[in-house]
Amino acid sequence: MAAIDRISVEHEEPASAAKSPGRIIFSLLLLMFGFLCILQSVLNVSLRLTSWPSSFKQQLATFCPSIYYISSARATWGDSRNDCLNRGADLVIINSREEQDFLTWFKKRLWIGLTDAEKEAGWKWVDGTRLTTSYWGHDEPNSDLGTNEDCGEMRFYESENNWNDVPCDMENSWICERKLQG
């Protein structure tokens, strides 16, 4: 058998990979700079948030003045209103075409906060304001067949104007509205 020479291999770190004190300091400085940038970003966001009005509710109200609860249960108009009041809200008061269109999107018969129970044809919202802009369906309100239809609902949701007057003791689902302003 021939003699095999031992080959010795030595591995040497390249000069660029050496852990010199200068390289370690540079790495630490780079890491600290990264943390400093993150800290500055957090502080900038924090300072911007604290310069806003103190209440998040006020901030949100500039974009969305109300929040809504759509019931899945059915109840009379009075019981529906009581449920809303227990939630810190009231039956919805529709103030704009945009709000009307938004609520129509649910495509469901729903009580709204409109009644003429105090005076026939004297429609008022639950906050006591008189109805000025309306979205009554065709030939509504009408107290159909002489019945006492004193409460408002959204019914004809296929139509742009979809309000209907019905007896208050009928059972419907309902929409509560909680104002974020005022």
Nearest to 116, CA basis, from 155, 77, 151: 151
The model's confidence at residue 90, banded by pLDDT at 50, 70 and 90, is very high
| Across 13-22, 48-57, 58-67, least confident range | 48-57
Q: Is the model's pLDDT at 170 over the cut of 90?
A: yes
pTM for this entry: 0.66
> Confidence band (pLDDT; 50, 70, 90) for 20?
confident
